[in-house]
Amino acid sequence: MKRLFSTLVIASIMLFGAANVNATNYVNIMPDNIVNFVQDEEAALAVQEDEPLGFHQELKKRFIEGGPGFMGIVLLTLILGLAVAIERIIFLNLSTTNTKKLAQDVEDALSSGGIEAAKEVCRNTRGPVASIYYQGLDRADESIEAAEKAVVAYGGVQMGQLEKNVSWVSLFIALAPMLGFMGTVIGMIQAFDKIEAAGDMQPSLVAGGIKVALLTTVFGLVVAIILQIFYNYIIAKIDSIVNDMEDASIVLIDMLVDYKNKKRI
């Protein structure tokens, strides 16, 4: 029994000693592993800093550096301008119709069913050209002159609807660079205030203010350029629709004259 007890004691001492040796070795290895891990993380961060930022990341970085004041206002002008421009583009695309097909359908309806059939064709067709046709046909029973006056008058109404809210886009185009220039002026004033307070002309004092000032100008010009592209597209689309309206008006008057002459015969 004593031998068994002695054997268990000796085995326990040997196991405890081995555990202490392993723990000591593990503790000695841990600092090296931690140091290597930290060095690897620092190297990875250094590589990430050396890599060039993407376009969106660079844009976000410059926007934050420009300050939330004027940069937020410039961003607001961009959002409002784009909202108005997109609404106008959708409206103008929906207002575009195949004028030649409409004129042919109206002419066929006049020949087969008269004025009412032609008016029904116009009712089932969307767009300002169909509306002008309907107004002209509605006055056709009175006289050709009355129909022509109705077409001209309602053409002006349709043109006003096409140009609705377009002036807001031009306002935002003018407003965005002005806000940018105002931010530039304020940034320069702050830079000179720092020089006056320090009593010394040090580049580090004015570099931040000048950087912010130039960033507001850049973003203001970028917003104006984007909105200008949309504005020119909208104006070109309006001009195209107005030209179609004018050509269609002439065609309608000619159709009414032919229709009146055929009825007399």
> Chain-wide mean pLDDT for the chain?
77
Q: How confident is the model at residue 44 (pLDDT cuts 50, 70, 90)?
A: very low
Report the predicted TM-score, pTM, of the whole model to 2 decimal places.
Answer: 0.71
Cβ neighbours, 10 Å, residue 149: 15
Q: What is the predicted pLDDT for the residue at 83?
A: 96
**CB-based contacts of 150: which residues, under 8 Å, 6+ apart?**
135, 136, 138, 139
Residues 50 and 54: their CA atoms lie apart, in Å, by: 12
Report d(CA 176, CA 221) in Å as an integer: 7
When pLDDT is cut at 50, 70 and 90, the band that residue 84 belongs to is very high
Query: How many angstroms separate the CA atoms of 83 and 68, rounded?
Result: 22
Locate 155 and state its tokens.
């053409």
State the average pLDDT over residues 3-27.
Answer: 45
What angle, rounded to 10 degrees, do the helices at 203-264 and 128-138 form?
A: 30
Query: What are the b/e assignments for 82-110, b being 16+ CB within 10 Å?
Result: bebbeebeeebeebebebeebbebbbebb
Q: Which residue has the higher pLDDT, 52 or 162?
A: 162
What's the CA gap between 256 and 143, in Å, rounded?
Answer: 9
| Residue 228 or residue 19, greater confidence | 228
What pLDDT, on the 0 to 100 scale, is given for residue 224?
A: 94
Q: What is the pLDDT of residue 258?
A: 83
CA dist., res. 170 & res. 78, Å (int): 12
Residue 8 has pLDDT above 70, yes or no: no
Q: Is the pLDDT of residue 22 over 70?
A: no
Q: pLDDT confidence of 208, banded at 50, 70, 90?
A: low
Higher local confidence (pLDDT), 217 or 45: 217
33 pLDDT band (50/70/90 cuts)?
Answer: very low
Percent of the chain with pLDDT over 70: 70
Q: Tokens 């530039």: give the residue.
A: 184
145: number of Cβ within 10 Å: 10
pLDDT for residue 181 is more than 80: yes
Average pLDDT over residues 44-73: 62
Give me the amino acid identity at 110: L
From the list 76, 83, 133, 124, the residue with the least C-alpha distance to 103 is 133
The model's confidence at residue 184, banded by pLDDT at 50, 70 and 90, is confident
According to the model, what pLDDT value does residue 174 have? 93
